[in-house]
Amino acid sequence: MPTTALSCGIGLRQPHYREIMTIQPALGFVEVHSENFFNPHDAAAQVLVQVRAVYPVSLHGVGLALGSACGLDDEHLYRLAGLVERIDPVRVSDHACFARAPWAQGGIVHANDLLPIAFTESAMQIACANIQRVQDRLKRPILIENLSSYLDFADRDYSEPQFFAELGRRSGCGLLLDINNLMVNALNASDPDPLLSVCNWIDELDRLAPPGLIGEIHLAGFSVQQELIIDDHSSPVSEPVWHAYAYALEQFGALPTLIEWDDRLPALSVLLDERGKAMTLAERISLRMSASVKHSARLYGSGP
Amino acid sequence: MNDSLPTSSTIATGTESGAAESLRQRELIAAIFSPNPVEVPSYGMAQTGCRWRAGLAAYRGNGIGHARSALREQFPTLLAMLGDDAFDTLCAYYWRSCPPRKGDLAWAGVELPDFIDTVPELQDWPWLSDCARLDWAVWQAAGAARSRLNEEDLRRLATGDPQSLYLQLAEGVRRIASYWPIVTLYQAHSDPNPDWNAVTRSLEYRQAETALAWRPPENSASAPTVMALDEVTDRWVTALINATNIETALELAGNAFDFAAWLELAVRQGWLNAVIAKE
Amino acid sequence: MNKREFINTAASTLLAMGVLTIAPASHADGNGMMKPGMEKCFGVAKAGQNDCKGISGLHSCKGQSTVSDNPGDVKIVPQGTCAKMGGLNMKQAKAKLAAMKNKS
């Protein structure tokens, strides 16, 4: 069922709080980073409760470290569960990454970053076990986002789209498809035609994915550094990413879409314009799809 | 913010392939936190040479960047005292020497005050670590649960026997004792027109101060607040922190302590969480 | 007045004054508007010295584009108000630290 175009949203960032709450623009949802709201007692927690009274909130985590071979941090999961209970979010997501590992001097380190996992069968089993623990605790399926990775592991039993399709099948989780991350990876792999390789990635996922695997799409800007492209969310969505987005919508239909912007944050109106662009594309695809459904319905004689 | 919970649950990685995942993850983290960039790719990496160095640099820069922005929020006095460059360098040393243990950056600074004591270049400013302890206390107070004291509590205090009554402090109340004028330093850095001569004098005279930091009730000035404790009040507060009954705490505080005045201030400032009766 | 009476009286006085009934939090109205006390947290308020600590959010999933990965062998040279207030020289500091250790 294609969702309405209104389910395009923006990231809620502190400099925009007041303006958003004052003008209350039409938004399908707002998204926040879960860890920023773990503490139920601080000022940020009060803001989120007020925002939640106006908008659906999507909780996007950065710290569960679902691919960590040493397992999850119980305390982190406990705090996330508390937040989910307080906010009743429309979606809960985190990344296909690891961050925790035993430290030579004892204990476990959490790198506070989104570190790459290997696309191997054993990494699949680790991620499945961790994701299932989270889903059991939260009593809901979660979405897992594909990374921008600046390093990769050589061993692999799956391609990346295969990995996410299989992960969804085994654990019941969905995919948060970050199209900018696909583009950043293609560029960093020095791909001769990055847009083509992103579209191939999307095609492969489309062939393999169980129905309804994708629960949300992320769009953002990247920046060109000396040696690498960095996914720094500091600029408008790039042209090739818009093309890839349109291509993904053709395959999967309109999906809840987020404009992510974290660094060098622009005026709210700029963010809303970017969201408007996503919405226009999504609406156009929805219309065309419903037209073709009507068309085939006429062909096969079963009225809508 | 304070309740601690069991930390980790482990997934069996007994299989050979599970062991490979553990190894590549441990090695990549070791390279990210290594004092200097590691030239040889860690176990199982696809990239080599300058592509490995660039990828590793991206992760190392990310980590330091995250730590730096969290620590700047958590230690405003320390930041003002050190200046941007020295603070950032300290952050990088700290990040590598005391890697974070939690996936919540609200805890990023938990070991920074103790770490400062180990940095040779900072030994000429021996008050810095206590100033950092006070910054950390203020940061924790800002996110602490507010006082839950109610009229029932006061009625218990109005009718009970002080020998079996205990005053429980609110979560955000922190006492930091120092051999240095940490409250004077803290207040100078939140004052738009500080008297630096007075601050320098208080350092020269080695004016020892004990700070109390707390989170006031919501309807008053709600920013965390800091004040200096005099010796008498400090004995009283220390007794309460050590969960001493009211009668014994009063004996420890001595005759100069004005209980009625302190109690009124405590209720208005949200220092107390409960009056507990134990037989 | 004995100690018990004294404490009981202090608490009764506060009850009579109604100190607690004026203290409780006034919660936000339900219209999604910010409480007046929190106004300073929205807009460009400087985090650090007020109740908005941490409200700007410590976490994001972006990559850092401008941070050097190896501030490395640089010495820490305090330049902020430390420079203004001066430090102790090493000898004084060591003597001071030794004195502290003896005390504790």
Q: How confident is the model over A16-43, as pLDDT tens digits? A: 888 998 999 999 999 999 999 999 998 8
Are residues A211 and A224 in contact, defined by beta-carbon separation less than 8 angstroms? no
Instruction: Pick the range with the lowest mean pLDDT from A59-68, A88-97, A107-116, C38-47.
Output: C38-47
B153 and B82 share one domain:
no
Whether residue B119 sits in one domain with residue B44: yes
Residue B185 in contact with residue B199, Cβ under 8 Å? yes
Task: With cut-offs at 50, 70 and 90, classify the pLDDT of residue A3.
Answer: very low
Tell whether the model's pLDDT for residue A81 goes beyond 50.
yes
How close does chain C come to A167, measured CA to CA in Å?
A: 22
Weakest mean pLDDT among A75-79, B51-55, C53-57: C53-57
What is the model's pLDDT at position C75? 84
Kindly determine whether residue C69 and residue B106, on different chains, have CB atoms separated by under 8 Å: no
Q: How confident is the model at residue A73 (pLDDT cuts 50, 70, 90)?
A: very high
Higher per-residue confidence, B219 vs C25:
B219
CATH, range A5-300: 3.20.20.150
Asked whether the beta carbons of residue C38 and residue A46 sit closer than 8 angstroms, the reply is yes
* Whole-number pLDDT of residue A261: 93
Same domain for B175 and B114: no
Write out pLDDT tens, residues B51-78.
999 999 999 999 999 999 999 999 999 9
Whether the predicted pLDDT of B33 surpasses 90: yes
pLDDT tens sequence across A155-182:
999 999 999 999 999 999 999 999 999 9
pLDDT top residue among A291 and C95: A291
Q: Are residues B252 and B179 in the same domain?
A: yes
- What is the average per-residue pLDDT within B260-269? 96
Q: What is the pLDDT of residue C83?
A: 84
pLDDT class of B180 with cuts at 50, 70, 90? very high
What ranges do the domains of chain C cover? 78-104
Q: Is residue B211 over pLDDT 50?
A: yes
- With vertex at residue C102, the alpha carbon angle to CA C100 and CA C104, rounded to the nearest 5 degrees, is 70
* Predicted ipTM of the assembly: 0.93
Question: How many whole angstroms separate alpha carbon A31 and alpha carbon B70?
Answer: 21
Q: Which of A177-186, A238-247, B141-150 bottoms out in mean pLDDT, i.e. has the lowest?
A: B141-150
Chain B residue numbers with beta carbons less than 8 Å from the beta carbon of A74 are: 5-9
Mutate to test the interface with A, among B1, B4, B7, B11 (most CBs of A within 10 A): B11
Question: B254 and B155: one domain?
Answer: yes
pLDDT of residue B8: 42
Within this chain, do residues B244 and B166 fall inside the same structural domain, yes or no? yes
CB contacts of C55 in chain B (<8 Å) are none
Amino acid at B99: P
Of B21, B26, B144, the CB nearest to A118: B21
Count of alpha carbons within 13 angstroms of residue A179, beta-carbon side: 30
pLDDT at B214 over 50: yes
> Given a cut of 70, is residue C97 above it in pLDDT?
no
pLDDT confidence of C62, banded at 50, 70, 90? confident
Per the DSSP assignment, residues forming a β-bridge with A153 are: B45
Query: Does residue A110 belong to the interface with chain B, where contact is any CB pair within 8 Å?
Result: yes
What pLDDT, on a 0 to 100 scale, did the predictor assign at position B3? Answer: 41
Question: What is the distance between the terminal CA atoms of chain C, rounded to a whole angstrom?
Answer: 39
The pLDDT tens digits of the residues spanning A258-292 come to 999 988 899 999 999 999 999 999 999 888 887 77
**Nearest CA among B119, B26, B22, B112 for reference residue B75:** B112
Query: Tens of pLDDT along A249-260?
Result: 999 999 999 999
Give residue A126's pLDDT band: very low, low, confident or very high (50, 70, 90): very high
Which class for B261: exposed (0-12), middle (13-18), buried (19 or more C-beta within 10 A)? exposed
Q: Report how far residue A221's alpha carbon sits from residue A16's, in angstroms, rounded to the nearest whole number.
A: 19
For residue B218, the number of C-alpha atoms closer than 13 Å in the C-beta half-sphere is 18
Question: Beta A143-145 vs A174-178: how paired, if at all?
Answer: parallel
Is residue B134 in some structural domain?
no
What pLDDT, on the 0 to 100 scale, is given for residue C86? 76
Of all residues in chain A, the one with the smallest CA distance to C51 is: A43
DSSP string covering A215-238, please?
EEEEEE--EE-SSSEE----SPPP
Which pLDDT band holds residue C89 (cuts at 50, 70, 90)? Answer: low
Q: How many domains does chain B have?
A: 2
Average pLDDT score over chain B? 91
| pLDDT of amino acid B202 | 92
Q: Identify which of A282-291, B82-91, C46-55 has the greatest average pLDDT.
A: B82-91
Say which residue, A85 or B17, is predicted with more confidence. Answer: A85
Output the pLDDT for position A285. Answer: 87
Question: Residue B192: which domain range?
Answer: 146-277
Among the listed residues B166, B127, B191, the one whose alpha carbon sits nearest the alpha carbon of residue B272: B166
pLDDT of residue B123 exceeding 60, the answer is: yes
- What would the two tokens of residue A85 be? 């209970």
Q: Does A232 touch chain C (CB under 8 A)?
A: yes
Residues 6 or more apart whose Cβ sits within 8 Å of residue A272: A10, A25
| pLDDT for residue B4 is more than 70 | no
Residue C54 has pLDDT above 50, yes or no: yes
Range from A74-83, A124-133, B189-198 carrying the lowest mean pLDDT: B189-198
B110, burial (CB in 10 Å: exposed 0-12, middle 13-18, buried 19+): middle
The model's confidence at residue A47, banded by pLDDT at 50, 70 and 90, is: confident
pLDDT band, very low/low/confident/very high, at B153 (cuts 50, 70, 90): very high
Domain range list for chain A: 5-300
What is the average pLDDT score of chain A? Answer: 93
Give chain C's radius of gyration (CA, Å): 26
Q: Examine the domain organization and report whether B164 and B207 are in the same domain.
A: yes
Point out which residues pair with A216 in neighbouring strands: A176
Which of A2-6, A123-127, B2-6 comes out lowest in average pLDDT? B2-6
> Could A73 and B56 be called an inter-chain contact, meaning their C-beta atoms sit closer than 8 Å?
no
pLDDT of residue C43: 40
B242 vs C28, more confident:
B242
Contacts of B162 (CB under 8 A, 6+ apart): B245, B246, B247, B250, C3, C4, C7
User: Contacts of residue C9 in chain B, CB cutoff 8 Å?
Assistant: 158, 260
Q: Which of B91, B125, B159 is the last residue of a domain?
A: B125
Would you list the DSSP string of B191-206? -SS--HHHHHHHHHTT
Minimum distance, in Å, between the CA of residue A253 and any CA atom of chain C? 26
Confidence of residue B161 (pLDDT cuts 50, 70, 90): very high
The pair phi, psi for residue A145, each rounded to 5°, is -95, 140
Task: Give residue-wise pLDDT tens across range A192-245.
Answer: 999 999 999 999 999 999 999 999 999 999 999 878 999 999 999 999 999 999
**Could you tell me the two tokens for C92?**
């004084």
Residue B79 has pLDDT above 70, yes or no: yes
Q: Look at A164 and C41; give whichever has higher pLDDT.
A: A164
Tell me the pLDDT tens digit for each residue of A50-69: 999 999 999 999 999 999 99
Interface chains of chain C (3 or more CB pairs under 8 Å): A, B
pLDDT above 80 (res A303): no
Q: What is the mean pLDDT of residues B184-205?
A: 92
Q: Is the sign of the CA dihedral A286, A289, A291, A297 positive or negative?
A: negative
Same domain, B152 and B272: yes
In chain B, which residue ranges form alpha helices assigned H by DSSP?
Answer: 16-33, 49-74, 76-82, 84-97, 112-116, 128-142, 151-159, 182-190, 196-204, 231-241, 246-253, 259-269
Percent of chain B with pLDDT over 70: 92
CB B137, CB B225: distance < 8 Å: no
